[in-house]
């Protein structure tokens, strides 16, 4: 990462993106089978060198204690399992009649999605592609615990360039990764080139922001979450503009997939809908999320909204997010799909 990028953007990448379902990339690591220290066989892919795919800021990702964070990240990703299971079921419907033997999960994180993909496509090898060594270790541990050590392999790779060493797949899944790559159209072309003939690319981008409170939550001025979302949109525009190789495009994802040489097959949005009262894991996730937004947007919010966030983050207060009875978790994730040309005989 060159020194030109404002530290504010670096901070968001380090503390915000992952705690949803997103992944990281951070540096080189040996290629090995999940749950094993066995070196790769000659027919396995070579190791690819990587950088931090979400943060583009190597030091932050390396400094994080992924072993300590792993279980927390898994619990939080598991909050989204209903969406993930419905989405992968939809992908399986599109691949009916295709012998799916190889699947990439780009930005795999601790491997929650990998497990769902392995169950959905029982004949497939699942390749977890990420860049944080600690997170890939969580993938291996999680796979071994679930009897999937022979089905899930890990690769540490930069995106999109690191895909050159991964071979080809029948299905590529990537969630909230492409928008962190400077040239989104060129990146999609690279992903498309990694599909086998007739393969499917699934890109989770867009949707609706997370909501967790009533419009009037009894603290401060009503409409806090709408103002947070507007401030976050401003941050996002700045983040995109600061990316190396940034190229502005209309974010019409089906059109971008067509521009990558693929044939679009559908767009569908999936809810994560956890009504009140929430369990402890969902409340902890929301507390972490509000804390990150409080840090990220401190310079963009008015004093009253900052006081409201502080009250919501109070772990002992009855109106805090950890205790209030009306807290919920509602968000929508949109998945866009497209296929490569089928084989010709």
Coil, helix or strand at residue 196: strand
Torsion of CA 89, 90, 94, 99, to 10 degrees: -20
CA-to-CA dists, residue 325 to 81, 221, 277, 322, angstroms: 23, 20, 6, 9
Coil, helix or strand at residue 102: strand
Q: How far apart are CA 31 and CA 45, in angstroms?
A: 8
Encoded tokens for 248? 């502005």
Backbone angles phi, psi at 229, to 5 degrees: -65, -40
pTM of the predicted model as reported, rounded to 2 decimal places: 0.83
Phi-psi sector, 263: left (phi>0), alpha (psi -120 to 50), beta: beta
In 3D, which of 245, 306, 330, 294 has the Cα closest to residue 12?
A: 294
Peptide bond connecting 160 to the previous residue in cis, omega within 30 degrees of 0: yes
pLDDT by position in tens, the chain (length 345):
333 333 333 333 333 343 333 333 333 233 333 333 333 333 333 332 233 333 333 334 445 666 667 677 888 889 999 999 999 999 999 999 999 999 999 999 999 999 999 999 999 999 999 988 889 999 999 999 999 999 999 999 878 778 888 999 999 999 999 999 999 999 999 999 999 999 999 999 999 999 999 999 999 999 999 999 999 999 999 999 999 999 999 999 999 999 999 999 999 999 999 999 999 999 999 999 999 999 999 999 999 999 999 999 999 999 999 999 999 999 999 999 999 998 776
Q: Provide Rg for the chain, Cα atoms.
A: 20
Q: Residues 262-286: pLDDT tens digits?
A: 999 999 999 999 999 999 999 999 9
Q: How far apart are CA 194 and CA 103, in angstroms?
A: 11
């Amino acid at each position: 990462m060159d020194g030109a990028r404002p530290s504010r953007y670096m901070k968001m990448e380090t503390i915000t993106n992952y705690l949803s379902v997103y992944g990281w990339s951070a540096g080189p690591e040996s290629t090995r089978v999940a749950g094993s220290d066995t070196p790769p066989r000659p027919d396995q892919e070579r190791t690819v060198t990587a950088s931090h795919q979400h943060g583009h800021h190597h030091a932050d990702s390396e400094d994080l204690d992924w072993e300590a964070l792993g279980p927390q990240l898994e619990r939080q990703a598991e909050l989204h399992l209903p969406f993930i299971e419905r989405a992968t079921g939809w992908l399986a419907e599109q691949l009916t009649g295709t012998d799916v033997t190889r699947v990439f999960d780009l930005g795999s994180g601790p491997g929650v999605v990998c497990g769902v993909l392995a169950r959905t496509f029982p004949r497939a090898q699942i390749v977890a592609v990420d860049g944080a060594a600690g997170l890939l270790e969580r993938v291996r541990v999680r796979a071994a615990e679930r009897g999937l050590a022979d089905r899930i392999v890990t690769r540490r790779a930069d995106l999109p360039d690191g895909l050159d060493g991964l071979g080809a797949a029948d299905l590529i899944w990537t969630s909230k990764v492409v928008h962190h790559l400077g040239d989104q159209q060129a990146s999609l072309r690279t992903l498309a080139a990694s599909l086998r003939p007739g393969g499917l690319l699934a890109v989770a981008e867009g949707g609706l922001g997370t909501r967790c409170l009533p419009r009037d939550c009894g603290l401060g001025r009503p409409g806090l979450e709408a103002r947070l979302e507007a401030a976050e949109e401003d941050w996002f525009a700045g983040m995109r503009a600061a990316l190396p190789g940034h190229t502005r495009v209309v974010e019409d994802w089906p059109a971008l997939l067509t521009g990558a040489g693929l044939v679009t097959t559908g767009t569908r949005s999936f809810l994560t809908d956890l009504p009140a009262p929430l369990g402890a894991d969902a409340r902890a996730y929301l507390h972490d999320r509000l804390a990150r937004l409080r840090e990220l947007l401190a310079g963009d919010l008015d004093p009253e909204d900052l006081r409201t966030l502080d009250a919501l983050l109070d772990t002992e207060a009855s109106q805090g997010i950890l205790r209030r009875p009306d807290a919920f978790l509602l968000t929508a994730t949109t998945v866009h799909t497209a296929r490569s040309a089928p084989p010709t005989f």
